[in-house]
Amino acid sequence: MNCLVAWAAEKDLDWAVWALTGDYYLRTGTKHMVETYGVLDATWKNVRNSTYLQKLSGIQHPFRGPGLQEKKLLLHPHTGLCVTNNHSANVPTLRLELCTKSEPSTFNPKEGILWINKMCVETPNVAGQKVKLGVGTKCSKLGQISATKMHLSFKTSNGLLLCLDVDERDNSIVANPCKCLTKDASCDPASQWFKVL
């Protein structure tokens, strides 16, 4: 699902859920047949899968097109949220926010510098710490690693390879050891995937 969300966002595809219905009174001769692809559950009172809807919310609004201001974003496909400046912190850090509320970002893979609203990313030297924003004196060079190009990694001053990651407690962006760089099919890298749009 995360790959599909990232791909749909990159291509700026409109999305649609197949049906609102939770079930049918009668469908192909069966009473109260459940609609598998419905937004609502069989009772018609609850959303079938709120996590699914949250993921899709990030790509619900168009990124490009007539009348739209071109705005580059950094999407976190697993949550459907985008990376932005955490204005509530004393020191500017990164966090996830609704894509419609996120600030513009710029990332040139050749240069490796990630800019969020004219401030560059300054990565920590220790795993688990929050990623800060600065005014350009200590910009960190990020690389897109793995086959997906969605891991944004950097090396610390002591040679440790870390990746941008999400702290699920407060949606802040932290630096952690990179996940799933081997061919382990049971590994889930979703928290460390970021799609540059």
Structure tokens at 3: 């790959």
Query: How many beta carbons lie within 10 A of that of residue 193, not counting itself?
Result: 27
**pLDDT under 70: residue ranges of the chain:** 1, 12-20, 63, 70
Q: How many domains would you assign to the chain?
A: 1
What CATH number did the domain enclosing 79 receive? 2.80.10.50
pLDDT value of position 13: 67
Q: Is 19 inside any structural domain?
A: no
The C-alpha atoms of residue 115 and residue 136 are separated, in whole angstroms, by: 9
- The pLDDT, as a whole number, for residue 176 is 96
Helix (H) or strand (E) holding 8: helix 2-11
Examine residue 18 and state whether it is found in any structural domain, yes or no.
Answer: no
Give the integer Cα–Cα distance in Å for 92 and 85: 7
Three-class SS state of 162: strand
What pLDDT shows up at residue 26? 83
Is residue 165 one of the residues assigned to a domain?
A: yes
pLDDT of residue 15: 57
Residue 152 lies in a domain: yes
Domain presence at residue 60: no
The residue type of 143 is G
User: 3 in a domain, yes or no?
Assistant: no
Determine contact, residues 95/173, Cβ cutoff 8 Å.
yes
User: If you write DSSP's letter for every residue of 45-109 in order, what string do you get?
Assistant: SSBS-HHHHHHHHHHHS-SSSTTPPP---EEETTTTEEEEEETTSSS-EEEEE-GGGPPPEEE-T
Name which of 12, 22, 21 is nearest 66 in CA terms: 12
Residue 155 located in a structural domain:
yes
Which of 52, 106, 47 lies closest to 79 in space, CA to CA? 52
pLDDT value at residue 167: 96
174 within some domain:
yes
Domain of residue 117: give its range.
Answer: 66-196
- Nearest Cα to 162, choosing from 139, 188, 192? 192
195-196 and 114-116 strand pairing? unpaired
